Amino acid sequence: MITRLSHLFLRTLRDDPADAEVPSHKLLVRAGYVRRIAPGVYSWLPLGLRTLRKVEDVVRAEMNAIGAQEISLPALLPREPYESTNRWTEYGDALFRLKDRKGQDYLLGPTHEELFALTVKGEYNSYKDLPVTLYQIQTKYRDEGRPRAGILRGREFVMKDSYSFDLDEDGLKKSYNAHREAYQKIFDRLGVKYVIVAATSGAMGGSASEEFLADSPVGEDTYVICRESGYAANVEAVVTAAPPEIPIEGQADAVAHDTPNTPTIATLVEWANGAGVLGREVTAADTLKNVMVKLRHPDGKTEILGVGIPGDREVDDKRLGASVEPAEVELLDEADFKANPFLVKGYIGPKALQANGIRYLVDPRVVTGSAWITGADEPGKHYVGLVAGRDFTPDGTIEAAEVRDGDPSPDGRGVLEAARGIEIGHIFQLGQKYTDAFEVDVLGENGKPVRLTMGSYGVGVSRMVAVLAEQMHDEKGLRWPREVAPFDVHVVIANKDEGARAGAEQVAAELDAMGLEVLLDDRTASPGVKFKDAELLGMPYVVVVGRGWADGKIELRDRFAGTAEELPAETAVADVVAKIRG
Ligand code: ATP
Ligand code: MG
């Protein structure tokens, strides 16, 4: 069926919406793909919905190909399952909560681990039933603190979420790898440029979780990439390459110096250079900065922790947070300093921390034998030559220091560079967190119950529409790869002349008969307006039937290549079909 622009429910806009900052948001609104209803809540108009459905189709096909089975759970959910896993509380303000007429608590599902675990528990009871992977393509709700960039970060959005259930670790790894490969196929088919990054430092065992990040300067996720080796990781997951240990023997004794008015690294370095304490130029990297944080553990107990990092680096809050999880990081307040008088602001050193039983973790660069200029725990005093492993012994290392461009890659094969991306997928070996919460067991081969192990995997389906728009647009408008374009070809009638009109109708009908999805611009608008709209709407191919028709010619424009070629009318349809089908 040919879709006629004269009938299509579409109004393109000349101006960018006032609230739009990123190109995909501006263009999707201007081209009439989506319309805003509330912050982070959007309607899909015909063109947008066609693209969304096509993204869904690709995702669905690849999920089916790994044997995952599609089901559909409600978005409106009772509180109890989320209470059992504590997520009713943990989700905090991000959860949309509501009450029914009887006063019962409900929520709008942000993700469905609980319900899938319960669904499997409800149906299956024997090891013979396993493994199983279930998925849905469904609307999710999260009351995001900063809904942003239109459908890129919505409060209502479409996600494909799947959940694997296995009898053992090995099975979970297989399910995880199947998803990893399926995701690569999905994103390759969609033509999106992306990297796979380790999401956690591996403390939980290898690649327990990975994220798929689409390259984009407007992305909110920062990651690092090593161009030489291809290593990529979330900033939180970067493992610092530690330098080799240094022999302690023969190193000079530590000396405490009077260093009046040197509470900052800059003032300390200035003093050290003025005093010539190292017999060479001192930099901030020669100093050891001791940052105090308060950890709140899940049981509610608090702990004061000392973090030692080279003075030329800042603490990266996200890395620190990921390293101490599940504890939460808080700042020390005046009361904490009062209660711990050995913490001398600006002059905190490892010695007082250790003498007072404060846990002290250091950056991996603080290796045994490394010598530091650091606080001597008295106002206006610092040590020079305080040697790790001799004068103080840290309780361990911590990944809390910022990662910088030019840092060595953890794989030893180049340097790191910071990059930005948009999370389009996430795969996660959950293990037994949810199956424990709901006691999801089946009868094992030996007659004993087996607790299932679970994975969860998400793709941002509606977000993908924005990501593709973001990566593929140009200054004229949207550009869609054929896989997701609302239509394969956009036929423009670029002349009032009856012959050209009839010719365009004929070309459109023949393209349609060849199985292509055809959008026909049969409006009475001027050719200039029509061409501008064609560029804005972004179908991959535009066929222009205009002045040349009388001479037996049509024009084929390739939206991606930006090229135009004249084709003889007799063979035009066959040529266009051949070109589009590649
Ligand atoms: P983000 O870090 O971007 O908030 P997330 O870690 O919360 O994402 P998951 O819970 O792993 O996301 O959800 C799976 C996928 O759903 C994500 O990879 C992303 O593509 C998509 N997604 C998550 N939140 C949103 C949102 N607010 N709007 C649109 N898509 C989203
Ligand atoms: Mg995630």
Strand stretches in 391-432, DSSP E: 396-397, 417-431
DSSP secondary structure letters along 423-447:
EEEEEEEEETHHHHHTT-EEE-TTS
| Closest residue to atom 14 of ligand 1, CA basis | 458
Peptide bond just before 217 cis, omega within 30 deg: no
- In tens digits, the chain (582 residues) has pLDDT values of 899 999 999 999 989 888 888 999 999 999 999 999 999 999 999 999 999 999 999 999 999 999 999 999 999 999 999 999 888 988 888 999 999 999 999 999 999 999 999 999 999 999 999 999 999 999 999 999 888 888 999 999 999 999 999 999 999 999 999 999 999 999 999 999 999 998 875 444 445 889 999 999 999 888 999 989 888 888 888 888 888 999 999 999 999 999 999 999 999 999 999 989 888 999 999 999 999 999 998 788 999 999 999 999 999 998 999 899 878 899 889 999 999 999 999 899 999 999 999 999 999 999 999 999 999 999 999 999 999 999 999 999 999 999 999 999 988 899 999 999 999 999 999 999 899 999 999 999 999 999 999 999 999 999 999 999 999 999 999 999 999 999 999 999 997 788 889 999 999 999 999 999 999 999 999 999 999 999 999 999 999 999 888 889 999 999 999 999 999 988 888 988 998 887
Mutate to test the pocket of ligand 1, among 463, 465, 467 (most ligand atoms within 8 A of CB): 463
Q: From the CA of 147, give the closest atom in ligand 1.
A: 27
Mutate to test the pocket of ligand 1, among 59, 112, 159 (most ligand atoms within 8 A of CB): 159
Residues with CB under 5 A from ligand 2 (ion): 426
Q: From the CA of 425, give the closest atom in ligand 1.
A: 18
Q: For 456, left (φ over 0), alpha (ψ -120 to 50), or beta?
A: beta
Calculate how far, in angstroms, residue 94's C-alpha sits from the geometric centre of ligand 1.
12
Helix (H) or strand (E) holding 26: helix 23-30
Q: How many CA atoms lie within 13 A of 496 on its CB side?
A: 4
**Pocket, ligand 1, Cβ cutoff 6 A:** 111, 142, 144, 153-154, 157, 159, 423-426, 458, 460, 462-463
